[in-house]
């Protein structure tokens, strides 16, 4: 079957370049596609995870009427693509190519206290260019938007898995921990603790800060306590001949363990997914975004769903978890250096209309209900907002009733952290995922992404396309006041 579609793919690629490509692309590709020297194919990012094959960085400026425009001549405008070159650094860099071609499935992102941007490769599967080693992909990539420090660099000390986003916690001594989720079914939750403080006065001194430190995986115990287990060769079972229990959550009868060799730290980092299970990390229901409270008092993680879960545990209490949940945890002493934490299930997504159809599909949301929490962020005033990414139309668990029938289109919500009351903030257009949340320092402008819409968006009667919207109050006061 896979060979049978080559002809159709070839024709589709030829027509696309012939009808819409620039002249230099036509000259480079069309003749070779015609003779059969090259074959056309397609590459798709995961349909509902906000993924992409590159990054476009622009500078925007506010207009007098309150709208925003890209500043076309800004030196900060930059595009990083699947054909750009990247380098690797850190303990596993010797196992990667000296110069790496491209990034894959850039999902969400994060930032550092020293002003760099962290983009997350949400796949370890190099499906795009099989001439490139698969170990080159599945990393956090550090980019300096001011183009003053290192070239874009894949930081191997942070581990290789399907990265979703990065959120940091810093203390008064400028010590930093970075929190990350593996958006897999299932996946673990990680943190990386830099081995020294960052410099607030010398950006260049932080250039290699993400190359030296300790990577941990979270273990959620049944009594509401938790621990961070170091993913360090020689510790927590990470030795030659280690036994990987596999994806135990997806089977009622545990699968046969596999033997994995961890003879050095580079092997631990290349095979982080396996190392985390060997070390006893809890496999969660697709960890997506993580956000840290401004005062370090809480950390929230969205677990978007896992409809194939067969075995539950305290932190993942539902089989066939169609609608996901949110976990809140607190570091011991509110410290990024802590090795223990306490945790609770903040909420179970669902809707009362789904009660009685098994698997606790109704959840326990107080207020406006939703499915599949994905994006999550606490603003500088401590307000918590959640964005959803449920399947479209999706299977709700109630016969002959889709997820959209129950919850409507994907949306963004404000959730009060004390009462846990959920209030809908905005609803996206047909077919889209709501993803990404940034704001101006005064909180008067929210920048929110509309991903892969299928209806008339953003221009009625034209091809739908992804876009960024700006939300502001009509009185120009901070949103949330």
pLDDT digits (tens, 9 = 90+) for 216-266: 999 999 999 999 999 999 999 999 999 999 999 999 999 999 999 999 999
Residue 56: the pLDDT is 60
Closest C-alpha among 438, 307, 286 to residue 373 = 286
Tell me: pLDDT of 5 over 50: no
Most confident of 38-42, 55-59, 66-70, 216-220: 216-220
**Cα 159–Cα 164–Cα 170 angle in degrees, nearest 5:** 70
In this prediction, residues 158-171 reach a mean pLDDT of: 98
Cis ω before 458 (30° cut-off from 0): yes
Mean pLDDT of all residues in 441-458: 94
Given pLDDT bands bounded at 50, 70 and 90, which one contains residue 82? Answer: confident
> What is the per-residue pLDDT for 27?
57
Compute the residue count for the chain: 481
| Top-confidence residue, 463 or 7 | 463
Per-residue pLDDT at 7: 41
Q: Residue 198: what pLDDT?
A: 98
Average pLDDT over residues 181-199: 96
Of 192, 176, 77, which is closest to residue 139 (Cα–Cα)? 192
CA angle 298, 304, 308 (to 5 degrees): 130
Q: What percent of the chain has pLDDT over 70?
A: 88
Residue 136 has pLDDT above 70, yes or no: yes
Question: Rounded CA gap, 327 and 346, in Å?
Answer: 5
What percentage of the chain reaches a pLDDT higher than 90?
A: 79
SS3 for the chain is CCCCCHHHHHHHHHHHHHHHCCHHHHHHHHHHHHHCCCCCCCCCCCCCCCCECCEEECCEEECCCCCEEECCCCCCCEEECCCCEEEEECCCHHHCCCCEECCCCEEEEEECCCCCEEEEECCCCCCCCCCCCHHHCCCEEEECCCCCCCCCEEEHHHCCCCEEEEEEEECCCCCEEEEEEECCCCECEEEEEECCCCCCCCHHHHCCHHHCEEEEEEEECCCCEEEEEECCCCCCCCCCCEEECCCHHHCCCCCCCEEECCCCHHHHHHCHHHHHHHCCCCCECCEEEEEECCCCCCEEEEECCECCCCCCECCECCCCECCCEEEEEEEHHHCCCCCEEEEEEEEECECHHHCCCCCCCCCCCEECCECCEEEEEECCCCCEEEEECCCCCCECCCCCCEHHHHHCCCEEEEECCCCCEEEEEEECCCCCEEEEEEECCCCCCEEEEEECCCCCCCCCCCCCCCEEEEECCCCCCCCCC
Residue 301, pLDDT above cutoff 70: yes
Alpha carbon separation from 245 to 237, 276, 347 (Å, rounded): 12, 10, 29
Average of pLDDT values for 88-94? 98
Closest by CA position to 388, among listed 355, 358, 365, 360 = 365
What confidence tier does 341 reach under pLDDT thresholds 50, 70, 90? very high
Please determine, for residue 299, whether its predicted confidence score (pLDDT) is greater than 50: yes
In terms of pLDDT, which residue wins out, 27 or 311?
Answer: 311
* Beta strands 366-367; 421-427: pairing state: parallel
Buried b / exposed e over 191-208, threshold 16 CB at 10 Å, is bbbbeeebeeeebeebbb
Q: What is the mean pLDDT of residues 364-390?
A: 97
Q: Greatest CA span in the chain, whole angstroms?
A: 66
Say yes or no to pLDDT of 23 above 80: no
Please give the average per-residue pLDDT across 186-202, as a whole number: 97
Q: Is the peptide bond before 186 cis (omega within 30 degrees of 0)?
A: yes
Confidence of residue 105 (pLDDT cuts 50, 70, 90): very high
Q: Write down the pLDDT at residue 14.
A: 53
**Is pLDDT at 448 greater than 60 in this prediction?**
yes
Mean pLDDT over 322-335 rounds to 98
Q: Is the pLDDT of residue 414 over 90?
A: yes
CA distance linking residue 470 with residue 114, whole number of Å: 26
* Of 6-10, 29-33, 230-234, minimum mean pLDDT range: 6-10
Q: Is the pLDDT of residue 314 over 60?
A: yes
For the whole model, what pTM was predicted?
A: 0.88
Give yes or no for a contact between 167 and 178, defined as CB atoms under 8 angstroms apart.
yes
- Residue 20: the pLDDT is 47
The residue-averaged pLDDT of 129-146 equals 95
Q: Round the average pLDDT of the chain to a whole number and report it.
A: 90
Those residues whose C-beta lies under 8 Å from the C-beta of residue 386, and which sit 6 or more positions away, are 302, 326, 370, 373, 375, 376, 412, 413, 415, 422
Mean of pLDDT values over 57-64 = 77
Q: Which residues of 346-362 are buried (b: 16+ CB within 10 A; e: fewer)?
A: bbbbbbebbeeeebbbb
User: Angle at Cα 424 formed by Cα 457 and Cα 405, nearest 5°?
Assistant: 70
Cα–Cα dist 325/109, whole Å: 21
Q: Residues 234-242: contacts with CB within 8 Å, 24+ apart?
A: 235/279, 236/278, 236/279, 236/280, 237/278, 237/279, 237/280, 238/262, 238/268, 238/275, 238/278, 238/279, 239/263, 242/278
Among 20-34, 61-75, 460-474, the least confident range: 20-34
Mean pLDDT of 368-387: 97
Of residues 204 and 45, more confidence is placed in: 204
């Amino acid at each position: 079957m896979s060979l049978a579609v080559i002809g159709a793919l070839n024709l589709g690629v030829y027509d696309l370049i012939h009808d819409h490509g620039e002249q230099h692309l036509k000259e480079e590709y069309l003749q070779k596609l015609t003779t059969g020297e090259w074959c056309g194919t397609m590459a798709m990012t995961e349909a509902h995870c906000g993924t992409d094959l590159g990054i476009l960085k622009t500078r925007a400026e506010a207009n007098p009427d309150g709208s925003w425009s890209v500043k076309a001549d800004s030196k900060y405008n930059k595009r990083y693509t699947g054909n750009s070159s990247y380098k690797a650094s850190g303990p596993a860099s010797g196992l990667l190519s000296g110069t790496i071609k491209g990034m894959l499935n850039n999902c969400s992102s994060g930032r550092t206290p020293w002003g760099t941007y962290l983009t997350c490769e949400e796949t370890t599967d190099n499906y795009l260019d099989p001439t490139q080693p698969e170990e080159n992909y599945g990393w956090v990539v550090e980019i300096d938007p001011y183009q003053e420090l290192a070239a874009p660099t894949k930081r191997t000390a942070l581990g290789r898995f399907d990265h979703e986003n990065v959120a940091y916690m810093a203390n008064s001594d400028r010590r930093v921990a970075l929190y990350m989720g593996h958006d897999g079914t299932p996946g673990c939750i990680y943190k990386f603790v830099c081995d020294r403080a960052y410099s607030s006065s010398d950006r260049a001194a932080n250039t290699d800060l993400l190359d030296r430190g300790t990577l941990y995986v979270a273990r959620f115990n049944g009594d509401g306590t938790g621990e961070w287990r170091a993913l360090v060769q020689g510790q927590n079972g990470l030795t030659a001949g280690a036994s990987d229990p596999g994806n135990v959550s997806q089977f009622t009868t545990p699968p046969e363990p596999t033997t994995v060799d961890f003879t050095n730290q580079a092997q631990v980092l290349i095979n982080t997914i396996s190392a985390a299970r060997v070390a006893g990390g809890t496999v969660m229901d697709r960890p997506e975004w993580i956000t840290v409270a401004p005062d370090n008092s809480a950390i929230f993680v969205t677990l978007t769903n896992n409809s194939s879960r067969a075995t539950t545990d305290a932190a993942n209490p539902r089989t066939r978890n169609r609608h996901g949940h949110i976990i809140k945890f607190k570091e011991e002493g509110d410290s990024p250096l802590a090795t223990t934490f306490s945790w609770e299930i903040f909420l179970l997504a669902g809707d009362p209309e789904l009660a009685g159809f098994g698997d606790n599909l109704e959840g326990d949301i107080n207020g406006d209900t939703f499915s599949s929490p994905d994006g999550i962020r606490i603003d500088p005033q401590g307000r918590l907002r959640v964005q959803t990414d449920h399947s479209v139309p999706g299977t709700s668990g109630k016969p002959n009733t889709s997820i959209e029938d129950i919850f409507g289109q994907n949306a963004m919500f404000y959730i009060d952290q004390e009462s846990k009351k959920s209030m809908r903030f905005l609803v996206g257009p047909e077919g889209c995922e709501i993803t990404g949340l940034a704001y101006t320092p005064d909180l008067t402008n929210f920048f929110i992404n509309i991903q892969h819409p299928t209806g008339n968006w953003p221009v009625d009667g034209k091809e739908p396309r992804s876009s960024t919207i700006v939300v502001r109050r009509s009185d120009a006061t901070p949103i949330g006041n």
